[in-house]
Amino acid sequence: MPEYPEIACRTAEMNRLLVGKVIQAVEATQPKCLNLPPDRFTSSLSGSRFEKFFQRGKWIEGQTNRGWLLLNMGMGGELLLTDRRHLPEKYRLIVDFTDGSCLAINFWWFGYAHFAGLDALDQHVLTAKLGQNALELTEPEFTALILSQKGRLKAFMLDQTRIAGIGNAYIHDILFLAKLHPQRMISSLTEEEIRNLFAGMQKGLRTSMDKGGAFYESGLDGKKGGFLMEDILVGYREGQPCPICQTPITKIKTGGTSSFICPSCQPVI
Ligand SMILES: [Zn+2]
């Protein structure tokens, strides 16, 4: 599932490669991923020019001179800049540009391609309630935010309405870097632990972002990200030695999901 690093990389690529392109038509083979009937979706975007792309957590917001194309890749997928002669085998949506190129969008499972009018972005329910982007929070903002919350640490870090962009791929290493157990109560965190958590979030996301995102996602040019399985510290590494203390990494149940931790570096307390 694409998370902060991958969406940040895609957004940067779209700003580099798609700004200025004019949409000629849109073809949707999965109308259920749209928030409008396909003909209205197409007519809303046709003739509009991409001006800028923004990241909002796991969403990409493409601003055109007539409205917004809002994309969420769901469990994963591809955004490929190509042309009609080189279409990938699978796609759910094609955005054709007047210069002959096209953006082929595929969702592995299900994703969203929504349209919002220029002044209607704040009425788009799924993006309007998102919290601030994880890497745009300053340390004082992050500290104030977490101190205003109750409950368990992992649930807070994954709550997209509080911090946008962290999911199950990166949370394990973020908490490991901070040496914090996922089930810690927020109220029990010391100032130093909150500082470590902020630093862990920065490092956990930036390390992948600097490598172009995770290896299982690809860029607009079709190239895979450079953040590899061996770059992951504890996530999905059950039974393997902790990179710091060699204790075997364990998989534990935390609420409805699993967590991977080093039981020695991340004590329950
Ligand atoms: Zn350890």
| β partners of residue 268 | none
DSSP 228: -
Q: DSSP string covering 120-189, please?
A: -GGG-HHHHT--EEGGG--HHHHHHHHHT--SBHHHHHH-TTTEES--TTTHHHHHHHTT--TT-BGGG-
Predicted TM-score (pTM) of the model is 0.96
CA gap 249, 235 in Å, rounded: 9
CA gap 251, 261 in Å, rounded: 7
- pLDDT for 15: 98
Q: Please give the distance, rounded to the nearest whole angstrom, from the Cα atom of residue 190 to the centre of ligand 1.
A: 20
Residue written as token pair 């914090």: 180
Residues having C-beta closer than 5 Å to ion ligand 1: 242, 244-245, 247, 262, 264-265
Q: Please give the distance, rounded to the nearest whole angstrom, from the Cα atom of residue 262 to the centre of ligand 1.
A: 5
In tens digits, the chain (269 residues) has pLDDT values of 899 999 999 999 999 999 999 999 999 999 999 999 999 999 999 999 999 999 999 999 999 999 999 999 999 999 999 999 999 999 999 999 999 999 999 999 999 999 999 999 999 999 999 999 999 999 999 999 999 999 999 999 999 999 999 999 999 999 999 999 999 999 999 999 999 999 999 999 999 999 999 999 999 999 999 999 999 999 999 999 999 999 999 999 998 899 999 999 999 97
Side chain identity at residue 78, one-letter code: E
Q: DSSP string covering 11-49, please?
A: HHHHHHHTTT-BEEEEEES-GGGBSS-HHHHHHHHTT-B
Q: Please give the distance, rounded to the nearest whole angstrom, from the Cα atom of residue 261 to the centre of ligand 1.
A: 8
Domains belonging to the chain, first-starting first, are 4-128 (3.20.190.10), 132-261 (1.10.8.50)
